[in-house]
Amino acid sequence: MPDYSDAHLKDVLTRTKTVAVVGVSMNPVRPSYYVARYLGLKGYKVIPVNPGHAGKTLFGQTVRADLADIGEPVDMVDIFRRSEAVPPIVDAALEAFPKLGTIWMQIGVQHAEAAARAEARGVTVIQDRCPKIEYQRLFGELRMGGFATGIISSKLR
């Protein structure tokens, strides 16, 4: 897993306002759905992107078939696709959003060459991380209940 400082991750999450989520699912038990929903609940404008659901509504937004269908600026593109699918998504993001700030690849998703292309254009790239998990961790929202709390408190005794 690439190493990013907490300050760097917090800066990305703080300056981001609009997130295009590529590969979002309409199924509420899928990670792409609940991560996108969480980001929306935290005040981000979330634009869902999934060609299989284009035209439907999710989180109050029309699902777009691809990034080129978004007619407004996007600060971050969050990728919920396999690593091998990343290069054309990064290329489309760089073309569609000249002022794009961040490309974020979800846990398990990495592509060094695509990341290097984005970074060469001045875009911040985060790989193999989840913005929901990082937001919760960095902004003090992680909660430990029952079992985990018991393990930690027993280790502290």
Task: Give residue limits of the domains in the chain.
Answer: 6-156
Confidence bin at 142 (pLDDT 50/70/90): low
Rounded mean pLDDT of 31-59? 97
Give kind and range of the element (H or E) at residue 102. Answer: strand 102-105
Residues 10-28: what's their mean pLDDT? 97
- Cα dist. 146→32, 136, 150, 152, 157 in Å? 27, 18, 6, 10, 17
Average pLDDT over residues 97-107: 97
pLDDT at 86: 98
Task: Tell me the pLDDT tens digit for each residue of 103-112.
Answer: 999 999 999 9
CATH number for the domain formed by residue range(s) 6-156:
3.40.50.720
